[in-house]
Amino acid sequence: MDISKEFDRYMVHLAEGLGHADRQAGLAGYCTGLMLPLSRKSVEPMAARVDPLRASARHQALHHFVAKAQWSDQQLLNRVAQWVVPHMDFSAGGWWIVDDTGFPKKGVHSVGVTRQYCGVLGKQDNCQVAVSVSLACEQGSLPVAWQLYLPRNWAEDTERRLKAGIPEDIEFATKPHIALQQLRGLLSEGAPRHCVLADAGYGIDYAFRQGLTDLGLSYVVGITSAVVVWPPGVEPLPPKPYSGMGRPPVMPRRTAKRQPVSVKVLAQSLPDSAFQNISWREGTNGRLTGRFAALRVRCAGGNVGKARLLPQQWLLIEWPADQAEPEKYYLSTLPETTALNDLVCAAHMRWRIERDYQDLKQDLGLGHYEGRGWRGFHHHASLSIAAYGFLMEQRLKAGSDAGGKKNFVKRQVPAVSPDYIPRASPARAASRAGLDQDAAPSVERRTRRRPGTLPALRRH
């Protein structure tokens, strides 16, 4: 089928979840703008490119559609998944990939902006951070849940919440807690219980790991070298005998000679024969290979030993031969029979989320939204993911990572009119404040509606 006709069918499918039929034009126009080769994919330049003869009117319409219209961003993501997931091949396994990404901001008024760690910059700075869950197979991946992390200073500021249109039911929550909520919501809609992958920012959080186990989800998560475990063959003593008064003791006991160790100390105690060279996939410059060891351990619950005796799980250690100490550590609740190759492949499947973010930011304008409100931030992100979903579906059908973007942008989109003058240009009488990337009309509050079901995610 012609790619333009396929895109039009995709837009009709997505529009069915927006509530009003007249929103289909805004959806198609916005997604088209996001997929065009523009240096900046905010509302105004997209409007000028998509509809140059009526640029001002289209700009107003697109701005209303993304910043004010009351449609559900999660419902849109659900319909994107319904379109893309049937083309994903889970015969070799499926994964839920949890991660977050930052958006540097110079102003302080955009919703959720505060001084915090920004992975894009590699340091603390003013930024927004959003938490996402992607569904992945070996051939591709797709974000299926997305939520802004709301720092405590925002969550507890009534005036700022009102100006940004933050829903009343959104309270302060840590990033791992947000991710658990997202996974819980997906599972409640019938999504399968694939293995969860996450980096050390999530993996060191015991409550996050236990939450995954409580949901019936296995995991492979990064941890830091300071995490403490009971090594193979070393067990704590059982809790003190119950005296018959109060609560029965549950804390495992330690002695001077019976102590847990950090995973770094444990790794350094292993002989060279414990490590094997494992390859996991083809990279840009050849097959990716590393040196790994895996052993069964019990997490010790921290340095003070105030936890129950936990079940055994895998500790995966990655230690390049040319480095003085291990590079990465992972904990996994995959079955005890899991082969080392499979542990390594699962641990390194997180590269898919990095590819998601790279394409979404570089090609589809994920970080280009210039409004300040909660609704607009989530609408823009879901529309970027919708555009990405179409390209992912084309890639999956073509059977390669090369995809339909180059073909798509050849659609007949009119050139910008030579007499078009952008808003806030010196040639107009508009205020220069219109150039502020954080400047945008305040948004209305919205009431969150229950997202639609996810039949495409259900295991058949």
User: Tell me, what's the pLDDT at 305?
Assistant: 43
DSSP state letters, 200-262: HHHHT-HHHHHHHHHTT--EEEEE-TT-EEEPTT--PBPPPPP-SSSSPP-PPB--SS---EE
| Interval 415-459: pLDDT, tens | 545 554 554 444 443 333 333 434 433 434 344 444 445 666 665
Q: How far apart are CA 297 and CA 167, in angstroms?
A: 43
Tokens standing for residue 242: 């119950």
DSSP per position, 249-297 = P-PPB--SS---EEHHHHHHTS-GGG-EEEEEEEETTEEEEEEEEEEEE
pLDDT number for residue 397: 92
Residue 451: the pLDDT is 44
- Residue pair 402/335 in contact (Cβ under 8 Å)? The answer is no
The pLDDT score that the predictor gives to residue 454 is 61
- What token pair was written down for 131? 């938490």
Please give the torsion angle defined by the CA atoms of residues 91, 92, 93 and 98, in that order, rounded to the nearest 10 degrees. Answer: -120
Q: Tell me what pLDDT residue 59 has.
A: 94
68-80 pLDDT per residue, tens: 999 999 999 999 9
Q: Identify the DSSP state of 366.
A: T
Q: Under DSSP, is residue 133 helix (H, G, I), strand (E, B) or coil?
A: strand
Q: What is the pLDDT of residue 412?
A: 43
> What contacts 243, CB < 8 A, 6 or more positions away?
none
SS3 418: coil
| DSSP string computed for 7-28 | HHHHHHHHHTTSSSTTHHHHHH
Residue 453 confidence (pLDDT): 53
Q: What is the DSSP letter of 115?
A: E
For the chain, residues with pLDDT lower than 50 are: 302-305, 401-406, 409-414, 416, 420, 423-452
**pLDDT at residue 19, as a whole number:** 85
Residue-level pLDDT at 303:
41
Q: Which residues pair with 143 in a beta bridge?
A: 134
Looking at residue 245, its pLDDT comes to 82
